[in-house]
A and B are shown apart, each in its own frame.
Chain A
Amino acid sequence: MTIETVTHPATPETAASRRGFLSGLVRTVLSGTAVAILAGCETLASSGAANADTMADDARILNTALGAELEAIAAYQVGAESGLLSKGVLDVAVKFQGHHKEHADVLSKTVTKLGGVPVGPLASYDFPVDKLKSEADVLKFAAGLEKGAVSAYLGAVPLFGNRDLAKAAASILGDEAMHWAVLRGALGLDPVPGAFVS
């Protein structure tokens, strides 16, 4: 797991500012319910344009994304149960976990609609819990996953045969990018380090 360097070491002051930063966000960050993926998929089964190969390819891409979302849910659970998170940070972590649950739910349903079999959560996940010693460690861990998720969805968007699915994946990408920015801000890093993501 690659974890970015924290440029501002955690101090009581930065921890307090982190809590303030996040407690505001928990009230204002958009919920993840805007994803229109299911609306787009209602037509999939009857679409003349959607052939079996395309649907299978799309289902395969979505299933990989689903596996990563399920892991993210478990990772946030580890963070939430670590006892390392202050109240404001914990609230945000639970909120972000809820977004990932929404993503996973819609991805799972869509894979089924496409005729695939959605993957389930693993029996256990091998997270680097021995390296999580502080709130900042948990935030860095989560930020790394969110950054990776942005890249994963960015790499998936061009591959979908169905453009509704590409649009839905881009919507999830936007949510992951907001998570990443919030977590970077909480760590004292520039929330938006560049004009492009990759």
Chain B
Amino acid sequence: MTPFLPHRAVRADAAILVAALAQFPVTEVRAQSADGASVYDRCVACHALARNRTGPRHCGLAGRRAGSVPGFPYSTAMRASGIIWDRRTLDTFLAAPTRFLPGTSMGYDGIKNPTERKALVDWLMSRPPCG
């Protein structure tokens, strides 16, 4: 059986691709489009829509003051932030939570891909109020 030997041009292209990938976050490789529910899968180790878990519940997030869900033990930073969650604040926070709000308990690097982040923000902002 003849071993597969890539054409020189193909190998060169592959080398360029590898070099290009090294310049960008992994998420840039995917997701020219995204749906918010799928992106939210990344949050479910700590969050749910209807109930507090390691993180606070997400129902009714639109227009809510940060750190205000009853019974949830927020960080001091979050309670004192004065943030009102809307598309702009949520987008900025989710891009780099610990940079936007030092001291937050959300030890997560962020959703770096703007398309994925917008999908997640749109999805979260359109969830119904808490039942």
Q: Of all chain A residues, which has the CB nearest B108?
A: A155
Interface residue? A175 (CB, 8 A): no
Docked-complex contact A71 and B27, CB < 8 angstroms: no
- A contact patch SS: helix
Docked-complex contact A196 and B41, CB < 8 angstroms: no
User: For chain A residues 134-181, which have a beta carbon within 8 Å of chain B?
Assistant: 144-145, 147-149, 151-152, 154-159
In angstroms, Cα B110 to Cα A68, docked, is 18
Per-residue 0/1 for B18-59: is the Cβ within 8 Å of any A Cβ (1 yes, 0 no)? 000000001101100000010011111110100111110000
Interface centre among B37, B44, B105 (most CB of A within 10 A): B44
User: For chain A residues 102-131, which have a beta carbon within 8 Å of chain B?
Assistant: 125-126
Docked-complex contact B54 and A71, CB < 8 angstroms: yes
Q: Of all chain A residues, which has the CB nearest B73?
A: A119
Chain B residues bordering chain A, tally (CB within 8 A): 27
In angstroms, Cα B54 to Cα A63, docked, is 10
B13 / chain A contacts, CB cutoff of 8 Å: none
Interface centre among A62, A147, A151 (most CB of B within 10 A): A151
B52 / chain A contacts, CB cutoff of 8 Å: 126
Docked-complex contact B43 and A198, CB < 8 angstroms: no
Chain A residues bordering chain B, tally (CB within 8 A): 29
Docked-complex contact B41 and A2, CB < 8 angstroms: yes
Docked-complex contact B42 and A198, CB < 8 angstroms: yes
Docked-complex contact A145 and B107, CB < 8 angstroms: no
Q: How far is the CB of B20 from chain A (nearest CB, A)?
A: 15
In angstroms, Cα B111 to Cα A151, docked, is 11
B41 / chain A contacts, CB cutoff of 8 Å: 2, 144, 147-148, 151
Docked-complex contact B109 and A2, CB < 8 angstroms: no
B residues engaging A (CB < 8 A)? 26-27, 29-30, 37, 40-46, 48, 51-55, 75, 98, 103, 105-110
Sample of 25 A–B contacts (CB below 8 Å)? A60-B103, A60-B107, A61-B107, A64-B55, A68-B45, A68-B46, A71-B53, A71-B54, A125-B53, A126-B51, A126-B52, A144-B41, A144-B44, A145-B44, A148-B41, A148-B44, A151-B43, A151-B45, A154-B109, A155-B42, A156-B108, A159-B98, A196-B29, A196-B30, A198-B42
A residues engaging B (CB < 8 A)? 1-2, 57, 60-65, 67-68, 71, 125-126, 144-145, 147-149, 151-152, 154-159, 196, 198
